[in-house]
Structure 1
C-alpha cells in the first residue's frame, strides 16, 4: 500500500500553499468570507480531481483500444447541500467526444471502465453520493 502526504503552509490570512508532484498550488477562500481570492476553493478542486482522474483513465483505455479522438471535453456539475457541512450531492459528468466515425461502443466501454473500475476519485465520491455520467458525440 502506498501513502500520499501533502503539506499546506499558511501564506497569510486564509490562503494555503502546497506542492503537489512538483507543482505549487495555492488554495484560498473567497473575499466574501474573508479570504483574498489567491487561488481556487477546495471543493471545486475535488471536482477538478474527478475530471482529471477519469479523463486520464479514458484516454489511456482508448489508446489501448486504438481509438483516436480529436478532442474530449469533460463537464461536471454537482449540487451543494444547504446545511453544514455543505457537501456535493448528485454529481454528474458529461463526456463530450469529438472525432469522425467514432466507435460509440468503445467510447462507452472506456467511460464505464473508468467509472466502475479504475477511477479512485469516483470510487471515493460514490461512498458519499451518487455519480452519474453521459456521453455526447460532437460533430
Structure 2
C-alpha cells in the first residue's frame, strides 16, 4: 500500500513525504501561494512520465533494443471548469542512438504495452483525458498514436 504525508509549511505550501523522500508543493502567487514548489496537479504529469518511462526502458531492455538517450515530454490540457481535470495529454517519446538499432516496431510495442497494460498512472488518467503520443527517433517524427489504439 502506498502512503504519503503532507506537512503544512504555511500559506498554501506543503512538504509531501513519500517513502521517506520530500517533495515541496505550493500554489502560484496569483492564487495565494508563494511558488515554493511545483503545483500538485503538475506532479501527475511527472508521475506519468516516470511510470511510462520506466516501463518502456524495462521492456526495451528485455527486447535488447539499445539506445543512447531517452526523454519524455508531456503536455496536459485541463477543463475550463472546476475541478479542472486533465482532458488531453500528449506524450513525446524521444530516442537517440544508432539508427539501425532503434527498432521502431519494438519501441512502439513497448509504448503500447506501457500505456495500455502496465502503467497505472496512464490507466488512472485515461478516465478523464485523451492520451496521445508521438515517437521521435534521432530528432525526427517516426510515429504517433493514442492510448487504447492498436499500433
Please indicate, yes or no, whether the TM-score normalized by the shorter chain is above 0.5.
Answer: yes
Over 2 Å off, 4+ runs: none
Query: Paired residue for 1:33?
Result: 31
Query: Paired residue for 2:104?
Result: 104
Residue 10 in 1 paired to residue 20 in 2?
no
Query: Paired residue for 1:51?
Result: 49
Residue 134 in 1 paired to residue 139 in 2?
no
Number of aligned positions between the proteins: 137
Distance in 2 (alpha carbons) for counterparts of 1:109 and 1:103: 10
Gaps of 5+ in 2: 140-151
Report matched runs for 1:59-138 at 5 Å: 59-100=57-98, 101=100, 102-138=102-138
Answer whether contact 2:3 2:18 (CA < 8 A) is retained.
no
Shift in Å, 1:114: 0.4
Shift in Å, 1:69: 0.5
Shift in Å, 1:127: 1.5
Greater fraction strand: 2
Gaps of 5+ in 1: none
Distance in 2 (alpha carbons) for counterparts of 1:84 and 1:119: 26
**TM-score normalised over the length of structure 2:** 0.87
Q: Give deviations 1:44-93, integer Å, cap 9, x for gaps.
A: 10000000000000001111111110111111111121111112111111
Distance in 2 (alpha carbons) for counterparts of 1:92 and 1:128: 13
Shift in Å, 1:34: 1.1
